[in-house]
Amino acid sequence: MSIACPVSLDREKLKSEVRATYAKVAENPHGEFHFHRGPEYAARLLGYDLAELNTLPQMATAPFAGVGNPFMMDALPSGGTVIDIGSGAGMDCLLAARRIGPQGRVVGIDMTDAMLARARLGAAEAKLPQVRFEKADMTELPLDSGTVDVVISNGVINLAPEKQKVFNELFRVVKPGGRLQFADIIVGTELSEDARNNIDLWTG
Amino acid sequence: MIEALQQTGFQRVRVCNFFTSFSGTTKEGVARKYGVQGANFIAYKAA
């Protein structure tokens, strides 16, 4: 995967396109998109437990558009602090909140207002007060240094035009001994310049 | 991705699982052409 945004690609336009795309998903998760959404997809292709997902508010699960399953790798620490980068409608945050328990803390970070609104309603409906959502860019997290046990994320870091800045910021907030366990896309071949400058490919 | 994480200072970086996340979507052909798939990553900050 390319780590830097091509010089010719307008980074603010890219962010704006990403926000617009995911606002549409939040408003109409069953609409036409070129990526899958929802709990059935998460169970069928990503290994989530559909029975567990069906216990969560549809408000949170219907717009889910991750590309992997960050819960497969290691158990989240009971009572720990977990952040979700690009939390969307909050499905993974609610799952994380159940795993860390009421003494823990989950912070979902997203930059799309419509997703944040859905996520907050979903967390309230699920009665998981240990979850909160913050509007922020993933290169400038509203968190103190060395305060996070685990960072999760699902199909979002690839959307960032400056991935190295994201990794630097994640390194800052993670505690010594903490970890990242996230899902994202990988690209098996070197992309052409045209492909790297295709904003539609970035926003997918 | 792995190299960038290592350069940042993360250790024991590895890919754990792969997913055919775009199977059945309108971008399936593009995903196949470029070898695009979902993957799980894990990386640790030294204690």
Tell me how far apart the alpha carbons of residues A171 and B9 are, in angstroms, rounded to a whole number. Answer: 7
CATH code: domain of residue A43: 3.40.50.150
Which residues on A lie below 8 Å from B23 (Cβ)?
45
Nearest to A73 among B7, B24, B40 (CB): B40
Say yes or no for a CB contact (<8 Å) between A45 and B19: yes
Residue of chain A whose Cα is closest to the Cα of B29: A34
A157: helix, coil or strand? helix
Give the per-residue pLDDT at A110: 96
User: Which A residues in the span 57-96 are in contact with B, Cβ-Cβ below 8 Å?
Assistant: 66-70, 72-74
Domain that holds residue A171: 11-198
Inter-CA distances, A199 with A30, A32, A106, A132, Å = 23, 18, 31, 31
pLDDT (tens digit per residue) in A67-118:
999 999 999 999 999 999 999 999 999 999 999 999 999 999 999 999 999 9
Would you call A37 an interface residue with chain B, using a CB distance cutoff of 8 Å? no
pLDDT (tens digit per residue) in A152-174:
999 999 888 889 999 999 999 99
Phi then psi dihedrals of residue A148, to 5 deg: -115, 130
Does the residue A108 lie in any domain?
Answer: yes
Give the per-residue pLDDT at A1: 41
Structure tokens at A186: 């990988």
Q: A192: pLDDT confidence band, cut at 50, 70 and 90?
A: low
Choose the most confident range, by mean pLDDT, from A152-161, B8-17, B25-34: B8-17
> Given the DSSP bridges, would you call strands A174-186 and A148-153 parallel, antiparallel or unpaired?
parallel
Is the pLDDT confidence value at B9 over 90? Answer: yes
Structure tokens at A12: 């603010």
Would you call B29 an interface residue with chain A, using a CB distance cutoff of 8 Å? no
Tell me how far apart the alpha carbons of residues A204 and A58 are, in angstroms, rounded to a whole number. Answer: 22
Q: Which helix (H) or strand (E) holds A202?
A: helix A199-203
Domain count, chain A: 1
Q: Which residue has the tokens 């990242």?
A: A180
* Cα Rg of chain A, angstroms: 16
Choose the mutation target among A5, A40, A46 for the interface with B, i.e. most B CBs under 10 Å.
A46
Q: What is the mean pLDDT of chain B?
A: 94
Tell me how far apart the alpha carbons of residues A171 and A24 are, in angstroms, rounded to a whole number. Answer: 31
Q: A179: pLDDT confidence band, cut at 50, 70 and 90?
A: very high
Cα angle A149-A155-A157, degrees, rounded to a multiple of 5: 70
Structure tokens at A63: 């717009």
Tell me how far apart the alpha carbons of residues A149 and A81 are, in angstroms, rounded to a whole number. Answer: 5
Q: B27: pLDDT confidence band, cut at 50, 70 and 90?
A: confident
Is the pLDDT confidence value at A134 over 50? Answer: yes
Is the pLDDT confidence value at A202 over 60? Answer: no
Query: Nearest CA to CA, how far is B33 from chain A (Å)?
Result: 8
Does the residue A139 lie in any domain?
Answer: yes
Tell me how far apart the alpha carbons of residues A185 and A42 are, in angstroms, rounded to a whole number. Answer: 15
Tell me how far apart the alpha carbons of residues A4 and A29 are, in angstroms, rounded to a whole number. Answer: 30
Structure tokens at A115: 């997703």
Residue of chain A whose Cα is closest to the Cα of B2: A1
A199: helix, coil or strand? helix
A89: helix, coil or strand? coil
ipTM: 0.93
pLDDT (tens digit per residue) in A3-45:
444 545 677 777 788 888 888 888 889 888 888 999 999 999 9
Give the per-residue pLDDT at A9: 60
Give the per-residue pLDDT at A2: 43
Tell me how far apart the alpha carbons of residues A83 and A169 are, in angstroms, rounded to a whole number. Answer: 12
Give the per-residue pLDDT at A195: 61
Does the residue A5 lie in any domain?
Answer: no
Structure tokens at A126: 């699920």
Is the pLDDT confidence value at B34 over 50? Answer: yes
Would you call B2 an interface residue with chain A, using a CB distance cutoff of 8 Å? no
Tell me the whole-structure pTM to 2 decimals: 0.89
Which residues on B lie below 8 Å from A189 (Cβ)?
33-35
